[in-house]
Amino acid sequence: MQVIICGAGQVGSSIARYLASENADITMIDQSPELIHKIVDSLDVKGLVGFASHPDVLERAGAADADMVIAVTYADEVNMVACQICHTLFDVPTKIARVRHQSYLESVWSNLFSRDHLPIDVIISPEIEVARAISRRLQVPGAFDVIPLADGKVSLIGVHCTAECPILDTPLRQLTDLFPELHILVVGISRQGKGFVVSPEDELQPGDNVYFVAETGHLTRSMAAFGHEEKEARRVTIVGGGNIGLSLAKMVEEKQPHVKLRLIEVDKKRAELAAQSLEHTVVIHGDALDSEILEEANVGLAETVIAVSNDDEVNILASLLAKRFGCQRAVTLINKATYAPLIDTLGIDTVVNPRVITVSTILQHVRRGRIRSVHTLSEGFGELIEAEAMETSSLVGVPIRDAPLPDGVMVAALVREGSVIIPRGDTVVRAGDLVIIFAATRAVKKVEKIFAVKLEFF
């Protein structure tokens, strides 16, 4: 598969790293010679310095033979024009563009990206995707990650294990005996910064970040099994009224109207725009690092503070100050990977990484055929893959314990005729089942061998 990636920033380079591991033929385009040299030196990709929206640059990048263009430069207009040119001049089959400015995404202009106008197959809005991810976490209090699967029937949940977790030092194989009515399966653990796919003999330890799959209707009881019985937040303070903060506030107003919402924005014009755009949210113009502003926002009475400004340092400090004032939980947006090792020691409950969320969203649209979706967990850990089991698959017709599963791969759930099955060793996969597989990053390519039909991108 030949792919052109426009933009060699964090998102573009992350997508290139993933696709290069799948042996795709990748050409990167960016205006910055430094970024191009950096990625060419680190990955098996071709690089081209130039403007991604220029026809001659796209031609030199091989657009005439490309299967897909992924435009993720910092400029919406460059991304859109690049897709338009790839369609009109080079007939590229699949075009994906990152579009950040919200005015392009208004429903009144929904026809803009049709085949007859700006022919873009998939529009990715990082701000909206991040807001959705945070909104999901608000609905499952205590979870640091929530990924809906199988049209919402199944969820992958990430939880932090404290010393009060009731199932510490217990082999995971005993969870079924301890909680026979709960449909849950632990699939991965991140311990001291290193992630691994679990075995039945593994035990949870304080400080672990645990990923488990559960039937969505059992989430409340599943969270209680891990010692998380936090109530859904009724009072929430959002720091930052940019695209993410404003999108999130609108989502909360729509989906959780019982929540009392306050939003702090340092820029006066942006605060005025937020106040005009929101119906029930109290908007406060001021600096979230100012103790008087935090007191005005009653942050000490809030169950959750969500810091999503454009400044990582402001987000971190505002989260810590809010918790010092008495706020129970902090959800913090952090772009810089260099801060990751500090998070656990600072006392921040949930970190939101826009790059990981954006890359995961884009990769969902890269695979086709029998694979319905791919969800990336924290970088370098693993992926959740939803795929349909074919009659000729080596997974079909035998107990899962006897199936030829590669090391680092686990069947996490099945959906059969609308019913969710959390598999055990004697569960037998049938043809037509929707199979949810958790695979360590190193084993993702091996997942193809589970199915009789090779899992192609197209």
How far is Cα 203 from Cα 185, in angstroms, rounded to an integer? 13
Looking at residue 380, its pLDDT comes to: 65
Calculate the average pLDDT of the chain: 88
Instruction: Provide mean pLDDT across the span 112-134.
Output: 88
Looking at residue 367, its pLDDT comes to: 58
- Asked which of 115-124, 343-352, 422-431 is least confident by mean pLDDT, the reply is 343-352
User: 456 pLDDT exceeds 50?
Assistant: no
- Asked which of 145-154, 336-345, 442-451 is least confident by mean pLDDT, the reply is 442-451
Looking at residue 407, its pLDDT comes to: 86
Looking at residue 279, its pLDDT comes to: 93
Characterize the bridge pairing of strands 122-124 and 2-6: unpaired
Residue pair 156/212 in contact (Cβ under 8 Å)? The answer is yes
How far is Cα 126 from Cα 10, in angstroms, rounded to an integer? 13
- Asked which of 185-199, 232-246, 275-289, 306-320 is least confident by mean pLDDT, the reply is 185-199
Structure letter (DSSP) for residue 295: H
How far is Cα 14 from Cα 78, in angstroms, rounded to an integer? 20
Looking at residue 157, its pLDDT comes to: 93
First to last CA, the chain: 9
How far is Cα 82 from Cα 99, in angstroms, rounded to an integer? 12
Angle at 236 between CA 231 and CA 240, to 5 degrees: 145
Instruction: Provide mean pLDDT across the span 2-24.
Output: 88
Looking at residue 110, its pLDDT comes to: 76
Looking at residue 382, its pLDDT comes to: 80
User: 450 pLDDT exceeds 70?
Assistant: no
* Percent of the residues in the chain that have a pLDDT greater than 70, as a whole number: 95
pLDDT in tens, 359-401: 888 877 775 546 777 787 765 678 888 888 888 777 888 899 8
The DSSP secondary structure of 58-110, one letter per residue, reads HHHTTGGG-SEEEE--S-HHHHHHHHHHHHHTT--SEEEEE---GGGG-GGGG
Instruction: Provide mean pLDDT across the span 448-457.
Output: 50
Confidence band (pLDDT; 50, 70, 90) for 457?
very low
**Cα→Cα distances 33→40, 44, 51, 253, 327, Å:** 10, 17, 12, 45, 46
Going along 126-226, which residue ranges are E strands?
143-149, 154-160, 184-191, 194-197, 209-215
Instruction: Provide mean pLDDT across the span 412-420.
Output: 91
Looking at residue 349, its pLDDT comes to: 85
Ordered by where they begin, the domains of the chain are 2-124 (3.40.50.720), 130-225 (3.30.70.1450), 235-352 (3.40.50.720), 358-450 (3.30.70.1450)
Confidence band (pLDDT; 50, 70, 90) for 42?
very high
Predicted TM-score of the model (pTM)? 0.83
The per-type count for the chain, helices as H runs and strands as E runs, is 13, 22
Instruction: Provide mean pLDDT across the span 296-312.
Output: 94
Residue pair 299/305 in contact (Cβ under 8 Å)? The answer is yes
Residue pair 137/131 in contact (Cβ under 8 Å)? The answer is no
Please give the structure tokens belonging to residue 420: 């969710």
The DSSP secondary structure of 298-347, one letter per residue, reads TGGG-SEEEE--S-HHHHHHHHHHHHHHT-SEEEEE---GGGGGGHHHHT
CB atoms within 10 A of CB 191: 15
173 three-state secondary structure: helix
Instruction: Provide mean pLDDT across the span 123-129.
Output: 90
pLDDT in tens, 323-353: 999 999 999 999 887 887 777 778 788 888 8
450 or 223: whose pLDDT is higher?
223
Confidence band (pLDDT; 50, 70, 90) for 285?
very high
Instruction: Provide mean pLDDT across the span 236-261.
Output: 94
Q: Find all residues with CB under 8 Å of 177, minimum gap 6, and list them.
A: none
| Whole-angstrom Cα Rg for the chain | 23
Instruction: Provide mean pLDDT across the span 35-41.
Output: 95
| Torsion angle, alpha carbons of 17, 18, 20, 21, to 10 | 120
